[in-house]
Structure 1
Amino acid sequence: MRVVHVVTLVSDDGAYGGPTSVAAGQLEECAARGHEVTLVSLWRGRSPAPARLGSVPLRTRPARSLLPGRFTGLMHPLLVRDMWKAMGRADVVHIHAGRDLVSLAALAVAALRRKRFVAQTHGMVQPRRAVAVRLFDRVYVPLLRRARGCLVLTEHERRDVAQVIGAGGPPLVTLPNGVRPEHEGGAEQGRGEREVLFLARLHPRKRPDAFVEMAALVHRRMPDARFTLYGADEGMLPKVHRLIAAHELEAVVSYGGALAHAEAVRAYARAAVYVLPSVDEPFGMTVIEALRAGTPVVCTDTCGIADELAHRRAAVVTDGSPEDMADAVCGLLADAGKRAALAEAGRRAVTEVFSVHAVTDRLEAIYRRVSRPQSPPQGFLRPIG
């Protein structure tokens, strides 16, 4: 089967986050199963774009800001031509669709080429009342409605997407994100006994400021604990620096900038605890990556997979307050047995629920249905999960 994915941005600092890593992981597994795969995207980095992302052939153009917004207005005119050529031979097109120019162009090209396509929204398509969004949606939503199926992560996202596209739209299919499980015990080498990690965009929703407030509380009880933040700055770095100075944590809390994927994997493996203070996190791909590395996780009860992890005792789920997160972190740092049990449950959750193998099994079934010439445009996909 010839499979083409489109995602908005690939970059050397991983700025676009989950959608890019999900697309690459899905395509790598599809390629390993004998499918012919291509990823089409913009590229932003200090060096020329690579020809491949892992084992996945990559077709890119340099990202240009044509409209305001961190990702919304990114585009390159020749990327449309690349989409047209790549989709021409495809049996299935898979568009990782946010509200941005690349996604809009991909949806339009797929419709013009009369290609059967699925869309995956990654929590990025939510009801919005801003005038600019409503104008964008006049073109975007009719194109999104032409998808043969729309892949959503959670029931919350299902409700959001249903509200945006309205009644009679494509079937909404629940599909979790997946990662490739690590060999058990492989990540334990070099793990710090007192290192607490934040690895996400420094965006208000990710709450890096709450991480620093939590660090201050933990430091009072465990002075030997150390805290590191990694991630591209999206407006919160000045506040993070101010809080570090206000709490006199310069020797305890550090910011290491954005990391490439390979560096991020090593950072997870070094940490004793990973903390994601995000509120209303649609899924939490960084949580899954930390679990894969065997790193105990502390998250909030509004993370999209918090209920599943709590049920499996695979993470410590908090109310998101610095005080509750600090209690969770101190409890883990003080108890190696608790950390080991949480790590084992986390790895098991990855294998059984969030493995890219299990996810791709479901994705292949979706692709087979989409690629059938006799497939009707709507109603043929039953929700999965």
Structure 2
Amino acid sequence: MRIVHVVTLVGDDGAYGGPVSVAAGQLAELAARGHEAELVSLWRGATAPPPTVDGVPLRAHRARVLVPGQGFLGLFHPRLAVTLWRRAGRADVLHVHAGRDLVSLAALAVAVLRRRPFVVQTHGMVQPRRSAVARLFDRCYVPLLRRARGALVLTGEEGAGLREVLGPDGPPLHRLPNGVRPGTDGGAGGRGEADVLFLARLHAVKRPEAFVRMAALVHRKHPGASFTLHGADEGRLAEVRRLIAEEDLGGAVAYGGPLDHAAALRRLARATVYVLPSEAEVFPMSLLEALAAGTPVVCTRACGIAAGLERRGAAQVTDGSPEQLAEAVLRLLEDRPLRERAAAAGRAAVEEEYSIASVTDRLEGLYRPTARTGAR
């Protein structure tokens, strides 16, 4: 099959996060199975758009701000519409990683106009919103979403919210977890003993300030520990730096800037502990990637997969307070056998529940009837 995925933004700063990792992982596995697979997107970075992302062919145009003040929603490039039109015309199926933004809107419109079968995967980004901008956008957007042959959701909660947006005339919903390829690292036991990592956008929902406050508490009891934050700044870097100075952590806590996906994977594999203090995460790819790399993780109960990981012993799950985060990190730093057990449990979770192979098996099953239907 000729399969085209569309995602809003690829960049050298990893700012768009999980949807890019999900798309690239799915496409790489599809290509390994003999399908012709490619990714269409906007690009933001210091260089020209690369020909591939994580080994997947990429067709991209530089992001431009068409609607100021609306973040990802307002990004576009006129030539991207032409590329979408051409690539859709030769595709057997389109897979749109859809948020409320102009790229997703254009991709859906092209799929409908070209009468190509398509599925959508919303990554928790299309939920009920009451703002005037969302209501106005949805007048054009939701009728197109309803034309999808299927909508992929991560959890029952996400599905309920999406169904509320789509109404009774929406497409069938299919539960599909994110998937990753198991890593090859030897596990947490052989790494540095106290390298604690935050790797996410510096956005309020990710709570980087909680990471810094946790670091202050851990540093008092474990002064040899080092703490690093990586991620694109989305409004919280100034506060992070203020807290580092306030807590006198300049020698222990550092901001390392954003990383592209390949560099992020390498960094996750080197860490002793990965901490994700987010207050709302449907299905965080960074957490799965840390587990696949054999890195023990600390997260909050707001993470959609926290309960399952906790049952397996694959994650230290907290209420998100700096105190509980610090307690969990200290347990892992001070107990090497616990780290090794957590690493093994995390790898088992990936292999048994979150492998990209099992995800792609299900995708192929969804694509094939979709492609046949679209060809009639």
Shorter-chain TM band: over 0.9
Percent of counterpart pairs with the same letter? 63
Contact 1:369 1:375 in 2 (8 A): no
Q: Match for residue 207 of structure 1?
A: 207
Write out aligned runs for 1:158-197 (5 A).
Answer: 158-183=159-184, 185=186, 191-197=191-197
Residue equivalent to 2:124: 123
Q: Is 2:185–2:269's contact at 8 Å kept on the other side of the alignment?
A: no
In the TM superposition, 1:71-110 aligns within 5 A as: 71-110=72-111
Which residue of the partner structure matches residue 241 of structure 2? Answer: 241
| CA distance 1:91–1:32, change in 2 (3 Å) | same
The structure 1 segments of at least 4 consecutive aligned residues displaced by more than 6 Å after TM superposition are: none
| Corresponding position of 2:282 | 282
CA distance in 2, matches of 1:157, 1:177: 14
| Partner SS for 1:351 | helix
**Structure 1 residues not aligned, in runs of 5+:** 377-385
Contact 2:61 2:80 (C-alpha < 8 Å) held by counterparts = yes
Q: Which residues in structure 2 correspond to 1:57-76 (within 5 Å)?
A: 57-68=57-68, 69-76=70-77
Measure how far apart 1:187 and its partner are: 7.5
User: Deviation digits for residues 226-258 of structure 1, max 9, x if unmatched?
Assistant: 110000000000110111111111111110000
Which residue of structure 2 aligns with residue 148 of structure 1? Answer: 149
CA, structure 1 residues 375+311, in 2 after alignment: closer, same or farther (shift >3 Å)?
Answer: farther
Would the alpha carbon gap of residues 86 and 187 (structure 1) be closer, same or farther in structure 2, given more than 3 Å must change? farther
Which position in structure 1 is the counterpart of 2:258?
A: 258
Question: Given the superposition, is the C-alpha separation of residues 187 and 28 from structure 1 closer, same or farther in structure 2, using an over 3 Å criterion?
Answer: farther
Q: Aligned equivalents of 1:375 and 1:196: distance in 2?
A: 51
Within 5 Å, which residues of 2 pair with 1:294-373? 294-373=294-373
**Which blocks of at least 5 consecutive residues in structure 2 are unaligned?**
none
- Corresponding residue pairs, total: 375
1:381 counterpart residue number: none
CA distance in 2, matches of 1:155, 1:110: 27
The answer on whether the counterparts of 2:54 and 2:262 sit within 8 Å (CA) in structure 1 is: no
| Separation (CA, whole Å) in 1 of partners of 2:334 and 2:261 | 30
- Look up the match of 2:8: 8
d(CA) in 2 for partners of 1:228, 1:210: 13
Is the Cα contact below 8 Å between 1:188 and 1:294 reproduced in 2? no
**In the alignment, is the contact (CA less than 8 A) between 2:142 and 2:166 conserved in 1?**
yes
Q: Deviations over 1:237-280 (max 9, x none)?
A: 01101111111111111100001122212211221100000011
1:373 CA drift (Å): 2.3
Structure 2 Cα separation of the partners of residues 269 and 115 of structure 1? 40
Is 1:231 the equivalent of 2:204? no
CA displacement at 1:219 relative to structure 2: 1.1
Measured in 1, the distance between the counterparts of 2:263 and 2:92 equals: 35
Whether contact under 8 Å (2:99, 2:126) holds in the other structure is yes
Q: Which residue of 2 aligns with 1:25?
A: 25
**Contact 2:189–2:340 (Cα < 8 Å) also in 1:** no
Partners of 2:332 and 2:339 within 8 A in 1: yes
- Matches of 1:286 and 1:373 in 2, distance apart? 35
Cα distance in 1, alignment partners of residues 187 and 275 from structure 2:
21
2:221 aligned with 1:216, yes or no?
A: no
Q: CA deviation at 1:183?
A: 2.3
- Superimposed CA distance per residue, residues 352-381 of structure 1 (whole angstroms, 9 cap, x where no aligned partner): 1111111101111111121122899xxxxx
**1-structure distance, mates of 2:104, 2:262:** 27
Q: Counterpart in 2 of 1:379?
A: none
Q: CA deviation at 1:108?
A: 0.4
TM-score (norm 2): 0.97
Further displaced range: 363-372 or 320-329? 363-372
Kindly indicate whether the alpha-carbon contact (under 8 Å) linking 2:291 and 2:350 is maintained by their aligned counterparts in 1.
yes
Distance (whole Å) between structure 2 residues aligned to residue 30 and residue 76 of structure 1: 28
Q: Which structure shows the higher helix fraction?
A: 2
The one-letter code sitting in structure 2 at the alignment partner of 1:296 is P
Give the Cα–Cα distance (whole angstroms) in 1 for the partners of residues 192 and 104 of structure 2.
41
1:36-64 CA-to-partner distances (Å, cap 9, x unmatched) read 11211111111111112233211111110
| Rounded Cα–Cα distance in structure 1 between residues aligned with 2:208 and 2:372 | 46
TM-score, normalised relative to structure 1: 0.95
